[in-house]
Structure 1
Amino acid sequence: MNRTMTLRSDSQPWYRERWPWLLMAGPAIVIVAGIVTLWLAVVSNDGLVTDDYYKQGLAVNQRLQRDHKAGGLGLHADIMRSGDKVRLLLGADGQVNLPPAITLKLAHPTRSGLDQAVQMVAEGQGFYSGKLTGELAGRWLVSLEDPAGEWRLHGEWLADTGEPLRLDAKAAN
């Protein structure tokens, strides 16, 4: 028996073969995905993380005191929107001196760049009006504060529904 081995004469260099490139594609894709993820982590703004978390933690008690003060005064407000105008009716269970201006803060839960602070000016008999600086769509966190910072009403508002928002200090406590 004569067995002879013959070499193929059509052999190519490794870089011209398909299989090495196919085997290297998986790790190469993972490396590129890791670089893109690292770039996104460095470039993007993480708006939910704050540097002064200790100060914000101390401010929680102050906000709770303001909420309790609003409850003690029996404050309630109805906020209505028409286009870029906002009106509110502020009332109380007893006699309360209403300020000439109130700040209405609208905070988007996930996009802080859309937050607005609207200066509401008194029109008389508990009515206030102001003008929005941007469009309201979706869910918003609403805070109504007096200029002296003594009391605060807050709640959540689905601005797309067209329904007025009722803020009641007693319901919040």
Structure 2
Amino acid sequence: MTATVTLQAGRKPWYKEPWPWMLMAGPGVVVVAAIITIVLAVKSDDGLVSDDYYKEGLGINQRLQRDHQAAQLGLQADVMRADNKLRLLLSAQGSAAFPEVLMLHLKHPTIDGRDQKIELKSEGAGFYNGVLATAVAGRWHVSLEDPAGQWRLHGDWRADLDEPLRLRAKAE
């Protein structure tokens, strides 16, 4: 009977042994990682999901009509940037009347919060100028529209490059 008493006296309780803790560490790490993922998903807005995708789908035909109108007018634009100032030269094949104001939309491919809407005012002879709200870098989707929404020029722009942005009408 003495031998069994000495063996039991040398045993530690389970929570003082390393093996149960090592076995519980894996599932514990997974639970903590899942909680962190849930918190990040709830707090951050990805900006890529549209709330009204059906309405956006219906607007595609309207945008295509504006692209065709720009192609019929033979519109093209060159946008130059110096710091946060923009200067645009708009030209057409015929004798098209240019509006006093144009709207330039800069849309970031992944982050809605960085989008900008710049009003460009006419200086005459097809030249327009405007100012960026914030500095831009990287890739952007750009569209240029008349205020009446009759035509649209669009394209992609790498703002990091020191080349002018060229927008041409695409007859598709």
TM bucket (normalised to shorter chain) is over 0.9
Local SS of the residue matching 2:25 = helix
Q: Deviations over 1:38-87 (max 9, x none)?
A: 12222211311111111000000000000000001000000000011000
The answer on 1:96 being equivalent to 2:96 is yes
Equivalence for 1:15: 15
One-letter identity of the residue aligned with 1:72:
Q
Cα distance between partner residues in 2 of 1:165 and 1:43: 36
Cα distance between partner residues in 1 of 2:92 and 2:132: 25
Cα distance between partner residues in 2 of 1:160 and 1:46: 24
Local SS of the residue matching 1:161 = coil
Residue pair 2:46, 2:111 contacting (<8 A) in 1 also: no
Cα distance between partner residues in 2 of 1:167 and 1:36: 44
Cα distance between partner residues in 1 of 2:166 and 2:42: 41
Indicate the percent of aligned positions where both proteins have the same amino acid. Answer: 60
Local SS of the residue matching 2:122 = strand
Cα distance between partner residues in 1 of 2:51 and 2:110: 18
The answer on 1:37 being equivalent to 2:3 is no
What RMSD over aligned residues (CA atoms) do the two structures have, in Å? 1.3
Q: Is the deviation greater in 4-13 or in 59-68? A: 4-13
Equivalence for 2:129: 129
Cα distance between partner residues in 2 of 1:31 and 1:37: 10
Cα distance between partner residues in 1 of 2:80 and 2:168: 15
Q: Deviations over 1:118-152 (max 9, x none)?
A: 10000000000001110010111110000000000
Normalization by structure 1: what TM-score?
A: 0.93
Normalization by structure 2: what TM-score?
A: 0.94
Cα distance between partner residues in 2 of 1:120 and 1:129: 5
Runs of 4+ in 1 over 2 A off after TM superposition: 4-9
User: May I ask how many residue pairs the two structures share in their alignment?
Assistant: 169
Local SS of the residue matching 2:140 = strand
Q: Where do 5+ consecutive residues of structure 2 fail to align?
A: none
The answer on 1:60 being equivalent to 2:27 is no
Equivalence for 1:46: 46
Cα distance between partner residues in 2 of 1:25 and 1:120: 60
